[in-house]
Amino acid sequence: MTGRHEDVPSDPFRRAPPLSSLHLRTPRLAPAGRRMSVPAVLVPPLADDQAALLARLTEDLDTERLWWLSGYMAGLARARPGGAQATVAPVPAAVPGPLERLTIVYGSQTGNAKRLAERLTAQAAEQGVPARLLRADAYPLRELKTERLLYLVISTQGDGDPPDDSRDLVDFLLGARAPALKGLAYAVLSLGDSSYPQFCAIGRRLDERLQSLGAQRLLARGDADVDIDTVAAPWLAQALTAARGTLKPAAPRLGTVTALRSSAPVPAGDHREHPLHARVLANQRITGRAAAAEVRHLELAFDEEAHYAPGDALGVWPRHPPQLVDAVLAAARLDGDSEVTRRGQTLPLRAWLGERLELTRLARPFLETLAQRSGDADLQTLLADADPAALGRLVEQRQVLDALQEWPVPWTAETLVAALRPLAPRLYSIASSQREVEGEVHLALAPVHHRNTRGERWGAASHTLAHAAEGGRLRVFFEPNERFRLPADAARDVIMIGAGTGIAPFRAFLQERTAAGTSGRHWLLFGNRQFREDFLYQREWQEAQRRGRLQRIDLAFSRDRAAKVYVQDRVRERGRELFAWIEGGAYVYVCGSTRMGDAVHQALLDAVAAQRGGDAEAAREYLQALRVQGRYARDVY
């Protein structure tokens, strides 16, 4: 998994009506966004009826009134018996007036945009800038017309597509319903990969659209490549300076804010820069010997306390194998013991290549350096975007070693280290539930391995994992995927659609719901190449079906017959039954490659349209409403 992962929980106080009864022309985004925070913050200490009353009370309150209410409640608490013994005393806090704040909205597929937005929010708090942070699908679109200061941090996926959590925001802003925004000041930080033709396309389109709607651009858009901090760090600093100069809050009023509980410390393994060390318990192949592609099942344990939820991913920091490092050194004609300093850190060249720099993924900046140093006319033409598809094929099919061998030029250790981009962790969907495996985490992965005319090539993290010996150690971290969560209502049905290793999170889903004793039904639609060789976790699914925990399973094995059948074909075939489950309140989850995810999305559109008189636009709005409700979630990569 490389592309991930907040969906909107269902209303915990009542069952949602069938979607066919809803007015779908204008999706009700704001109520869904408000409901998001209620289950996480208000429900645990309150009875359901109390939580419902509180949710209704606070539903339409602005920031100023919420601050006032928090102080009023704190005063009530201290006046009640036992209130004087509170361990945390109320502290005066400056309450900014309404709208005198910075709104930070992020759209993230793999977590990078989210991390930058969180960093910006934390820095704003440190500097006294009032700010709120929202994921794109939680932003109440009706507030846009009254917004005064908005920062967007958003990535571009695939061929110029928005992250899944940003589709509705992007469609709204680019569509006819977007309001005039003459009172808005804004800035955009865009993330992408310059090796692809549509580099930062979504950020660029939103930046241009906001300006065309009358908004004032506070600072130039930042287009961050895979070496994100090179652009992001100075952009964040400029953005904070601009926010301080733009926000002119009224004289602060004192309100009372009482901490109800101390903040829990963030576990070290919750962030990629502070990884946990996982111990390998098991590493075994789970596809047949004749399978075209190998899939492995790993079981890891931790010495430290570890927490994750079904739907989350495990980030893995890879290490390049010594033979690859040696081959790169030979191709560049360099000594691995040469010491090199980069950004204040000095290491031997071999260490930089082995653990710090990307060797298995080509990047446009490296190719541009090669083109400049070699003077190769064909490479220069390729980089001039004369044929974007050809550049895309080059990036996907070749690695750094191939480029060094094809365009040999003189290198120094310093110039090579400067030309290569930093090594990035890889994300894998977690295939287990802690209710079932407690302190362990399980993975299912397909190692990337192929041979070209120059020799063998591997994927960085998949090679690290595939060759991890039992008892060995790996550097990992947990990447939350709030957009891919099981329904809070245990009675809801769940439809799981996946292909290949996209089955991993669904194994976690079923383990979680089985251990919790939920009453909702489960339906798996799974596709792969061959039944005998590639039915991943076959025995577990069959046992779950025998015990009545998996109520339905539909399979598509594309190489078992002359006419190829894929999982999207099963979706179309079962369209009537799928629609009936969805109308009954089921949640739909899709996991697998982007290509598979797009094919399944089209199949769902076709299935819904067939049940709604062939109206394609109604089907599109139906799935959009599902996504807004958090009942249609995708984890594609």
The answer as to whether 393 is a domain residue is yes
Question: Is the domain of 141 the same as that of 245?
Answer: yes
- Banded model confidence at residue 9, pLDDT cuts 50, 70, 90: very low
Mean pLDDT of all residues in 395-406 = 94
Q: What is the distance between the alpha carbons of residues 332 and 373, in angstroms, rounded to a whole number?
A: 13
Are 148 and 239 contained in the same domain? Answer: yes
Does the pLDDT value for residue 42 go beyond 90?
A: no
pTM (two decimals): 0.79
More confident residue, 612 or 281: 281
Q: Could you give the 3-state DSSP secondary structure of residue 84? A: helix
Task: Give start and end residues of each alpha helix (H) in 488-636.
Answer: 504-516, 531-534, 538-546, 567-573, 575-583, 594-611, 616-628
Question: Of the candidates 359, 390, 419, which is a domain's last residue?
Answer: 419
Q: Rounded distance, CA 247 to CA 124, Å?
A: 12
Half-sphere exposure of 591 (CA within 13 A, CB side): 31
pLDDT at residue 186, as a whole number? 97
**Length, in residues, of the chain:** 637
User: How far from chain centre, in Å, is Cα 202?
Assistant: 16
* 395 φ/ψ angles, rounded to the nearest 5 degrees: -65, -40
pLDDT at position 272 is 82
For residue 388, the model assigns a pLDDT of 76
The pLDDT of residue 51 is: 54
Instruction: Please tell me whether residues 326 and 227 are part of one structural domain.
Output: no
Q: Is residue 350 part of a domain?
A: yes
Q: What is residue 262's three-state secondary structure?
A: coil
Longest dimension (CA), the chain: 82
User: Domain check: are 143 and 225 in the same one?
Assistant: yes
Q: pLDDT tens digits, residue range 238-263?
A: 999 999 998 864 444 444 443 333 33
What's the start-to-end Cα distance of the chain, in Å? 6
Question: 391 falls in which pLDDT band (50, 70, 90)?
Answer: confident
> What is the spatial distance between Cα 331 and Cα 57, in angstroms, rounded to a whole number?
68
- Asked whether the beta carbons of 303 and 320 are under 8 A apart, the reply is no
**Domain finish residue from 197, 215, 249:** 249
Question: Contacts from 34-39 at CB under 8 Å and sequence distance 24+?
Answer: 34/59, 34/140, 35/8, 35/9, 35/11, 36/6, 36/8, 36/9, 36/138, 38/12, 39/9, 39/12, 39/488
Mean predicted confidence (pLDDT) in 368-390: 87
Assess whether pLDDT exceeds 90 at residue 2.
Answer: no
- pLDDT value, residue 84: 39
Number of separate domains in the chain: 2
Within 10 angstroms of residue 335's Cβ, the number of other Cβ atoms is 11
Under the banding of pLDDT at 50, 70 and 90, the label for residue 405 is very high
Domain final residue pick, 401, 419, 437: 419
At 515, the pLDDT band (50, 70, 90 cuts) reads very high
The reply to whether 329 and 245 lie within a common domain is no
pLDDT in the model for residue 60: 52
Helix (H, G, I), strand (E, B) or coil at 227: coil
Tell me: do 104 and 242 sit in the same domain. yes
**Tokens encoding 334:** 């360099």
Other Cβ atoms less than 10 A from the Cβ of 274: the count is 11
CA–CA gap between residue 415 and residue 195 (Å, rounded): 20
Q: Is 200 within a domain?
A: yes
Examine the domain organization and report whether 243 and 123 are in the same domain.
yes
In a shared domain, residues 120 and 237: yes
pLDDT cut 70: percent of the chain above it: 81
Q: How would residue 30 be classed by pLDDT, with cut points 50, 70 and 90?
A: very low
Summarised one tens digit per residue, pLDDT across range 182-212 is 999 999 999 998 878 889 999 999 999 999 9
AA identity, residue 143: E
Tell me the one-letter amino acid at 97: G
Average pLDDT, integer, range 395-407: 94
Residue 93: pLDDT over 50: no
| pLDDT value of position 285 | 97
Average pLDDT rounded to a whole number, residues 448-463: 90
Does 87 reside within a domain?
A: no
Q: What is the pLDDT of residue 241?
A: 95
In the block, residue with structure tokens 């950020």: 203
Q: Indicate whether 241 and 326 sit together in one domain.
A: no
Q: What is the pLDDT of residue 57?
A: 60
Residue of 464, 480, 363 lying closest to 429 (CA atoms): 480
Q: What is the pLDDT of residue 194?
A: 85
Distance, in Å, from the CA atom of 278 to the CA atom of 350, rounded to the nearest integer, reads: 24
Range of the domain at 150: 98-249
Least confident segment among 253-262, 370-379, 534-543: 253-262
Residue 313 lies in a domain: no
Residues 240 and 367 placed together within one structural domain of the fold: no
CATH (domain of 367): 1.20.990.10
CB 242 within 8 A of CB 219: yes
Q: Is residue 177 part of a domain?
A: yes
Residue 343 makes CB contacts below 8 A (sequence gap 6+) with none
pLDDT of residue 66: 54
Q: What is the C-alpha to C-alpha distance for residues 181 and 173, in angstroms, rounded to an integer? A: 11
Q: pLDDT tens for residues 43-90?
A: 344 554 555 556 556 555 554 455 445 544 544 444 444 443 333 333
Q: How far is CA 158 from the centre of its chain?
A: 14
User: Can you give the pLDDT at residue 534?
Assistant: 97
Single-letter amino acid, residue 379? L
Overall average pLDDT of the 100-129 stretch: 94
Q: Share the mean pLDDT of the chain.
A: 85
Confidence band of 34 (pLDDT split at 50, 70, 90): very low
Position 445 scores a pLDDT of: 96
The pLDDT value recorded for residue 389 is: 80
CATH number of residue 107's parent domain: 3.40.50.360
- Residue 244 host element (H or E): helix 228-246
pLDDT at 4 over 80: no
